[in-house]
Amino acid sequence: MSSNNFCILTGARNFWRQETADRLSLLIDGETYYAAFVDALLQAERCVYIAGWDFQSRLRLLRGEAADRSDVSVELAEALNHAVRRNPDLHIYLLAWDYATIYLFEREFLPAIRLDWKTDPRVHFQMDAYHPLGASHHQKIVVLDDAVAFCGGMDLSIWRWDTRKHRPDDPRRVTPDGEAYRPFHDMQWALEGAPARALGDLFRERWKRATGASLSEPATDNRPWPRSVKPDLENVSVALSRTCPDYKDCVETREIQNLHLDAVAAAESSIYIENQYLTSSIIGDALVESLRRETGPEIVILLPSDSGGWLEESTMDALRNRIFAKLLQADEHGRLGLYYPVSVDENGRHGETIKIHAKLLIVDDRFISVGSPNLTNRSMGLDTEVSLSLEAAGENRDAIAAQIARYRADLLAEHLKSDIETVQAAIAETGLVLQAVERLRSESGGLEPFDEASLRENSTLIAPEEIIDPEKPASADRVLTQFHKSQKSMSKTSQIMKLVGVAAACVILFLLWRFTGLSEYIDPRRIAEYRDYAADHTWAPAVWTGLFSLAAFLMVPVTALIASSAVLFGPVEGFVYALAGSLIAAAVSFVAGSLIMSDSLHRLFGGAMDRVNRALSRRGMWVVAIVRVVPVAPFAVINMVAGATKLRFRYFMFGTLIGMAPGAFAVSVASESVVKAAQDPSVVNALVAVVVLAVAVGGFYLARRFIKLPGLGPSSEETQDA
């Protein structure tokens, strides 16, 4: 153990709160954590808070024999339902990052359908969009009755479950659709007492920002500690550290970055790291400086061999390789070990590489930190993160130091296919962690060193880290923030005049197209004259789609545009181009409404707008879909008003697609009859129009009954006492 008396956890520079945990354990890998989660969930009495980067309603929490023995459904959504049904006072709140579109195909489609609409009313699901452009909510916490909590790197999502053996072909390691995935390694704290209450405060703060509703602290003395978990330590001081970006009323917080810098600077004998990424330039520089010290600590770093997926491999992995190259160059004293773990079968044969997802830092035998932050720029300054740390200090210093050393030996034993005692003996014999790792891996494998030549070869192939791994909100977001600030500085009279001006412009444009000769330019009979011309030019569809979008944005009746599109290109192609043009126009109008109208409406009608926004946060996509089926206002007006609310852009676009596609297809199919009806009215054409109208009205009626839209009054979350 280190002889240095310097404390890493000092002042308020690197932690938010320091509380005493009555009990604490480190749960390693998904099988252990998910079983503990289910155990604690079924004991909760009043409230369960769950915040995550991602959720999967069909995640199988228990597998194999554990699932066979359980009397609870092993899928997440059903387990939550079971918990609230067995306890009438229990409410469960799930807060998920309202993710970027790039992750659309990696996540469950529209999770609110399965985790809110199709669960018990006392299971409340909310997407959290309260973050800057380009940022994410990355915290992974569960708090039960403000008494017991889990915190670390694991979400309740797919690709996380695995056993500590990480067998190459474990048949239980599959997604809900039965698709196998690579072995996965991560960890989560389980703790009881004051730190759990602190995490409860953190969740309630985030919930209020995301929803506008306040949650009350639970009135119960229940302590739902998982019976399957034996405490590693009792009555120990735990520090909570955060990352928060500078956004609206959130003050920039870099406690986690400061914590890592202080820990690396204080290290004497060893630094042991397990992490998904290593792209933070400031952390990389601190490690380089440590290696250059003549008598500095040895550094052992475990990361996945690759991030998985071409995009991350060509960006995050390349940034990591740049830092690796700097570390290798600075390692003049031979104190650096860079490894990735591989699975090993019962016969000692290597299989797939293991996905390291942990966020662990151990310094000497006296400090450990586990939480949600990766060693990336964004985790140090842009995303919301939380980590829990403990240091060997105070009366139980020796017990804490012994447990920290055991944690490191336990993890190395897992990776080296060994046991704790063997690893501890090797470290004691050599006096160095790195030498022990080299000796044991030569005997049993499990850890492979990164190839130095390939790291250096691929370290200069990508764009600057400011683009790939930013540490501050994107500049575009700052521009929008400044724009909104200027709007808020306007007087109430100016805000009203601005809205009146927008409304007047919309009315004038609408009247121009409705009652002047301009409408003749989109008359299907005139458009039909250009059908042969369009068929002879390959660029015609792109030009028409652009003109369609511009015209729809300028208040041209969309129904006439759709009919014209079908007449020009035929019912099928015309439908595709019309739908594309409608979506582009909707997106542009939505953004315009957000920029021009949002702050004015909120300043003038704050309370009413808040109620509208809460209703839209739950069913906004379907509200948009229904309004598209039976429009209550011109197309562009609906788009701009939607943009002025807090409705998420993604849900607005999905609602537009769902609502417009049936009507657009019906108009497109009937387009020839529409033209004929205009030229020569007949009973048949009149019947076609009636059928189209009946389909639209019937679709609206069925959708309304299926969705059961809520009113715009106060939501249940506002009045619900946790």
Q: In order of start, what are the domains of the chain with their CATH numbers?
A: 17-236 (3.30.870.10), 242-468 (3.30.870.10), 490-719 (no CATH)
pLDDT (0 to 100) of residue 318: 84
From the CB of residue 121, how many other CB atoms can be counted at a distance below 10 Å?
10
Tokens of 538: 């390959």
Contacts with 541 (C-beta within 8 Å, 6 or more apart), sequence order: 534, 569, 573, 577
Tokens of 502: 């927008």
Contact status, residue 2 vs residue 397, Cβ threshold 8 Å:
no
Residue 132 sits at φ, ψ, to 5 deg, of: -70, 165
Contact status, residue 651 vs residue 658, Cβ threshold 8 Å:
no
Contact status, residue 5 vs residue 401, Cβ threshold 8 Å:
no
Residue ranges of the chain whose pLDDT lies below 50: 1-4, 101-102, 457, 459-461, 475-490, 601-613, 615-616, 632, 678-679, 696, 700, 703-722
Q: Would you call 394 exposed, middle or buried from its count of C-beta atoms within 10 A (0-12, 13-18, 19+)?
A: exposed
Residue 14, classed as helix, strand or coil, is coil
CA distance 382 to 376: 10
CA distance 174 to 386: 29
Closest CA to 21 of 198, 215, 244, 252: 198
Apex CA 331: angle with CA 330 and CA 337, to 5°? 130
Closest CA to 319 of 347, 360, 286, 284: 284
Contact status, residue 522 vs residue 551, Cβ threshold 8 Å:
yes
End-to-end CA distance of the chain: 45
- Using H for helix, E for strand and C for coil, what is the string for 42-102? CCCCCEEEEEECCECCCCECCCCHHHHHCCCCCEHHHHHHHHHHHCCCCEEEEEEECCCHH
Residue 471 sits at φ, ψ, to 5 deg, of: -110, -5
What is the bridge-based pairing of β-strands 270-275 and 253-254? unpaired
Residue 326, classed as helix, strand or coil, is helix
Tokens of 567: 């007449």
The residues pairing with 272 across neighbouring beta strands, listed in sequence order, are 300, 362
Helix orientation angle between 571-596 and 635-644, rounded to the nearest 10 degrees: 40
Contacts with 719 (C-beta within 8 Å, 6 or more apart), sequence order: none
Closest CA to 221 of 149, 144, 308: 144
Contacts with 653 (C-beta within 8 Å, 6 or more apart), sequence order: 583, 586, 587
Closest CA to 636 of 591, 597, 586, 601: 586
CA distance 444 to 349: 10
Q: Would you call 489 exposed, middle or buried from its count of C-beta atoms within 10 A (0-12, 13-18, 19+)?
A: exposed
Closest CA to 502 of 437, 622, 599: 599
pLDDT (0 to 100) of residue 619: 56
CA distance 417 to 411: 10
Contact status, residue 581 vs residue 548, Cβ threshold 8 Å:
yes
Contact status, residue 53 vs residue 207, Cβ threshold 8 Å:
no
Tokens of 539: 């660029």
pLDDT (0 to 100) of residue 7: 83
pLDDT digits (tens, 9 = 90+) for 136-187: 999 999 999 999 999 999 999 999 999 999 999 899 999 998 999 999 999 9
Residue 27 sits at φ, ψ, to 5 deg, of: -95, 120
Contact status, residue 304 vs residue 355, Cβ threshold 8 Å:
yes
Contact status, residue 674 vs residue 703, Cβ threshold 8 Å:
no
Residue 418, classed as helix, strand or coil, is coil
Closest CA to 647 of 612, 601, 616: 616
CA distance 296 to 301: 16
CA distance 589 to 555: 10
Helix orientation angle between 683-707 and 671-679, rounded to the nearest 10 degrees: 140
CA 134 vs CA 129, 283, 311, 548, 556: distances in Å: 11, 21, 16, 31, 34
Q: Full-prediction pTM beyond 0.85? A: no
pLDDT (0 to 100) of residue 683: 57
| Cα 431 to chain centroid, rounded | 42
- Using H for helix, E for strand and C for coil, what is the string for 658-697? HHHHHHHHHHHHCHHHHHHHHHCCCHHHHHHHHHHHHHHH
pLDDT (0 to 100) of residue 10: 74
Contact status, residue 273 vs residue 300, Cβ threshold 8 Å:
yes
Helices and strands, counts by H and E, the chain? 29, 19
